[in-house]
A and B are shown apart, each in its own frame.
Chain A
Amino acid sequence: MTPLTRSRLTIMTVAAGGLLFFLHLLGVLSEAETWIMRKLSGQEAALSETAGSIRQTVGAPFRVGEIIKENERLRADNAARDVEIARLTSIREENDELRAILGFAEKRTTAPVVARVLARTPEAGTHTILLDRGSDDGVAVEMPVIAAGGVLIGKIFKVDRASSIALLLTDTRSRVGASVQNADRTQGLVQGERGLGLEMRLIPQNEEIRVGDLIVTSGIEPLTPQGLVLGRVEEVQTQEKNPFKKALIASPVAFDQVSVVAIPFP
């Protein structure tokens, strides 16, 4: 190939990039893009799951001490939860009985969309996941994304027809209205801490919150229901002269190991 031909071909390739962009803007590529994403979703979900298990397996030996401590804590939590479940079961039975007496019809809600995690988005420094469900499945921007156990892990940020991108709570740009399950029902704002964890801010200094308190969504955002679990208070940080204090929150979910999520409809 002569240098001139090579230069021409290089320029043509760059021009092809421009052409692709304009065809995308005109919507001509929409069907093809949706088709590609649908075709890839199976393989990408499998790859994503494999990477998650490799990460977990390789990291496990380095976390033995942490795992033992976590196991002890979970055993203690489990015992406390059994007591709580017994209490709630009796309340539920009583509630059912009272509803029956009052003739309440059970509120029917649409089943949530279950989505698989296909990939992490390529932009460096962001904490997002690509899901295999899009607007064709009813997914919309700002909808909550929930992991196993009803734990909120993020919100839908961008939606295409066959896929969507969720901004994880750990991303610095993420903000969720939250409340503490304490006597005061303390309100605050949970936001990401540079991909490392979660922080609850704007907690008034006079409100009493303790390590271990459960943090749930306050339901202040229109599409996010109240009471979705965000995590438990790990540490409370108070600064003098600051009208607000902040709390570090430990989520029960490992954000980098999630492979299946649910998106509930409001």
Chain B
Amino acid sequence: MLRALIVIALAFATAVFQASFLSHLPFPLSTISFPMLAVAYGIAHDRPLLAVGWALVAGATLDLHGMLGFGSEITALFAAFFGARFLFLRVLTNAGASARFLLAAAVAIVHWFTLAAIDGARVIFGAVPIIVDLSAASILAPLRQALVNGLLLLLVFAIESAARRRFSRTFLSHASSPHAFS
């Protein structure tokens, strides 16, 4: 229960931080997306509940800041989760860096296409297009996001792995020592 509350608080706080702080900074900082990273991380570590829970809380928070209407970010993040998880289980099955990079990139691309589909549906009903825009900058936006989030996910895994190596060396050496508790 406590862990769930921590995840909810973190997802909410990082979504607010992303919308109010990171989005004002220049590229590549402005394209960092914590919910997408959390979804990719959750899939890679086989922790779907973390990914979906984060997507729900962060998606709802971002929806309050967004132009596409409530529910669009949540839907896009859920679609990114299911799409990328499918790819992870069927295609990107090795544990290498390239597979992880592609996983995060897939999350960003599926997320963007879902938002574009929602926007397209809005346009059919007479709304002004927000995502669907044939300018080069608009088309490059999801690719830039895929690149940045892919690299960031690799960085997260590298930090995690370094930390695990460091701590396991410290604790295991003591635990395995016959003099540890003497």
- Where the two chains meet, the residues of A that have a C-beta atom closer than 8 Å to any C-beta of B are 6-7, 9-10, 13-14, 16-17, 20-21, 24, 29, 33, 36-37, 40, 43-45, 47-48, 50-52, 54-55, 58-59, 118-126, 128, 130, 157-158, 163, 165, 172-173, 194-196, 256
Bound: A158/B72 CA distance, A? 15
* Structural contact, B67 and A121, CB atoms closer than 8 A: yes
When A17-B59, A173-B128 are in contact, do A195 and B137 touch as well, CB less than 8 Å? Answer: yes
* Structural contact, B74 and A119, CB atoms closer than 8 A: no
* Structural contact, B137 and A194, CB atoms closer than 8 A: yes
**A47 contacts which chain B residues (CB < 8 A)?**
16-17, 20-21
* Structural contact, A50 and B21, CB atoms closer than 8 A: yes
Given A21, A157, A195, which contacts B70 in the complex, CB threshold below 8 Å? A21
Report, as a range, how many residues of chain B touch the other chain.
35 or more
Given B17, B49, B133, which contacts A173 in the complex, CB threshold below 8 Å? B133
When A10-B48, A13-B56, A21-B71 are in contact, do A125 and B138 touch as well, CB less than 8 Å? Answer: yes
What is the minimal beta-carbon distance from A58 to any residue of chain B, in angstroms?
8
When A130-B19, A173-B129 are in contact, do A124 and B112 touch as well, CB less than 8 Å? Answer: yes
Nearest B residue to A160 by beta-carbon distance?
A: B64
Bound: A118/B20 CA distance, A? 6
* Structural contact, B67 and A44, CB atoms closer than 8 A: no
Nearest B residue to A256 by beta-carbon distance?
A: B24
Chain B 58-85 residues near chain A, CB threshold 8 A: 59-60, 62, 64-68, 70-71, 73-75, 78
* Structural contact, B138 and A10, CB atoms closer than 8 A: no
Given A59, A122, A130, which contacts B73 in the complex, CB threshold below 8 Å? A122
Answer whether residue B136 sits at the interface, using C-beta atoms and an 8 A cutoff: yes
Bound: A50/B21 CA distance, A? 8
* Structural contact, B23 and A122, CB atoms closer than 8 A: yes
**B18 contacts which chain A residues (CB < 8 A)?**
122
**B56 contacts which chain A residues (CB < 8 A)?**
13-14, 16-17, 20
Q: List 6 A-B contacts (CB under 8 A).
A: A17-B59, A36-B64, A52-B24, A121-B23, A124-B112, A163-B64
